[in-house]
Every structure is written in C-alpha cells, then in structure tokens.
Amino acid sequence: MTWAKLLAGIDGGSGSEAVVTAAVQLGQAFAARVELLHVEVSEEEAIPMVAEGMTAGAVGKMLESLAEQRQVRAETAEKLYRTLCVDAGLPTCEPDAAPVPGRFRIAFRRVAGRESDEIARRGRLADLVIVPKPIAEAAFSQAVETAIFATGRPLLMVPETLPERPGSSIAIAWDGTLGSARATGAALPLLGRAETVTVLTADMEKVGAKPSALVDYLAEHGISARTWAFLPGEGVLGERLLAEAKEAGANMLVMGAYGHSRLREMVLGGVTQSVTAKSEIPVFMAH
C-alpha cells in the first residue's frame, strides 16, 4: 500500500514548520504529491461573537489587529514554503498542475475562506491530512476536528518539535474496537516502513480482538510487531497511553479517534482529547 497525495495544513503559526518538514519527509518516502495549504481566515470569521456593549471603535481596532495577524501568518506560511522547499531545491509544481503518478513534488496553495471548509473539501481528495498539534492551552483545534470528522481520511497530527526519525518506531493503541481497527488499517503504509511496531493494550480482559491476533494480521502484511500490555491504573487513560508509548520507545502513535455530535459540533472524546493536548510525538488518527 502507498499514498499518492498528501494535504498539509499550515496556518502560519509556531507548528507550521514541523508540518512542512513532516509532509516533505512523507512525500519523499512515498513518492507522493504534497500540497501545502494555507487558508486566510477573514476577520469576521475569526470573531465568532462580538461582546455585547462593545463600542464600534473597539470592534474596529480588533478587526484591524486580526487583519495584521492574518497577513503575518500568510507571509510566514509562504516563507516556509520558499525556504524549506524552493530554496532547498526540492521539486515543486503549481497547485493545479496535472497529476504525475509516482513523482514527489510540492505545491503551495493560498486561499481565502473558512479553514474548516477548505480542509474538509480538499482533504477528502487526499490520502492523508497533516496538521499541527493544537497549542498547549487548547485540547483541540478546528483543523484537527475537521480533519478527523469531516474528511473521511486519516490524520497525522504533528507536534511543534518533531522527534528524530518520526515513524521509525510506531505504537498502536489497540482495544479491538472499530476505531482502532480502522486506524491500524489506514496506517499500514507507515507501519510497513517502521523498524519497530508495538501494540499497546490496556486491560486485556475487556479488549475485543486480542493483541496477538493483530500481530498475526500485521505479519500477513510483512510487518513484525510485538505486544505491550499495561494496566490503566488511576488518572487519565490518554496520558497513561502516551507514557507507555514513550517507554516503548515509540516516536509515533496510531489510534482511533472517538467523538460525538453535540449541537452539530464534533467534539473529541476523552482519550482522544487528552492525547491531542499532551502528545509530544506525531499522532496518526482515523475515525
């Protein structure tokens, strides 16, 4: 299995450089086309609600500040493309260039609109969506939620600081459910390139398909894996999962993403939310 087209969302924030780096590495590994997408969000979209009683002058200053931030982020995103791709001598192409199967190349697309709309629409026609990990203060971001719940494609969430050789050692969060099975299947291209694959399982008595059965399944694909059981214990399961992945030497985590609809907004489930907020390694998710 392989990937032919990768979509990387770069918002011009502090995590954008890591996203570009990860996208380039994967594009080279799979001889895939990489599209770096920057969405310029309008000031009106950036303010979901103006506080009651706010003066026209205050609103005007807020809009002006947001416009300046938008420009800075757009310039940062384009500069990253120029520095890390064009100046580095990597093969580039126009965003709407004709398809060339089996050839690594990079395109930069800058559009205005709603970030969620653009990621959803373009992500549905990519094999993998790559976005930055949300800032520390937030447990989720619009880009992460949209990529998980609105594209139908797997997501790779990248931390601001990439570990060395990300994906060379991968941990799979396995509980035998549909979500973990779907994520594992979607990650087969990455798992096939990993040097070490570890199946992490908490509370083996309650798991559906046993981890040993997953090891056998992966072996059918030529992937050697080991099992790693641990007791959930006290505290947040997502944080414990990350700790076990770290102890296993993993530099990437594969897991199913869980969520539910509330007032038409997709909200990340508890384990997914804590992993999204606390992870220091790339996390591959599928819903």
Domain membership of residue 187 (yes or no) is yes
Q: In CATH, what number is assigned to the domain containing residue 272?
A: 3.40.50.620
Asked if the model's pLDDT at residue 139 lies above 70, the reply is no
- Interval 173-202: pLDDT, tens: 998 888 899 999 999 999 999 999 999 998
Same structural domain, 137 and 14:
yes
Same structural domain, 63 and 138:
yes
- Give the C-alpha separation, 134 to 160, whole Å: 9
Which domain does 251 fall in, by range?
169-286
Asked if the model's pLDDT at residue 46 lies above 70, the reply is no
Asked if the model's pLDDT at residue 130 lies above 90, the reply is yes
Same structural domain, 19 and 134:
yes
- Strand 265-268 to 259-262 pairing: antiparallel
Max distance between CA atoms of the chain, in angstroms, equals 66
- Give the C-alpha separation, 217 to 198, whole Å: 13
In the prediction, which pLDDT does 263 show?
A: 30
Q: Comparing 4-18, 98-112, 121-135, 231-245, which segment has the lowest mean pLDDT?
A: 231-245
- Pick left, alpha or beta for residue 204 (phi over 0 → left; psi -120 to 50 → alpha; otherwise beta): alpha
Same structural domain, 133 and 268:
no
Contacts of 48 (CB under 8 A, 6+ apart): none
Same structural domain, 78 and 40:
yes
Nearest one of 255, 258, 235, 257 to 245, comparing CA atoms: 255
Asked if the model's pLDDT at residue 9 lies above 50, the reply is yes
What is the rounded average pLDDT of the residues 20-48?
87
Alpha helices in 187-280 (DSSP H): 188-191, 211-220, 237-247, 270-278
Domain count for the chain, please give it: 2
Asked if the model's pLDDT at residue 129 lies above 50, the reply is yes
In the prediction, which pLDDT does 267 show?
A: 39
Task: Catalogue the long-range contacts made by 51-59 (C-beta closer than 8 Å, 24 or more residues apart).
Answer: none
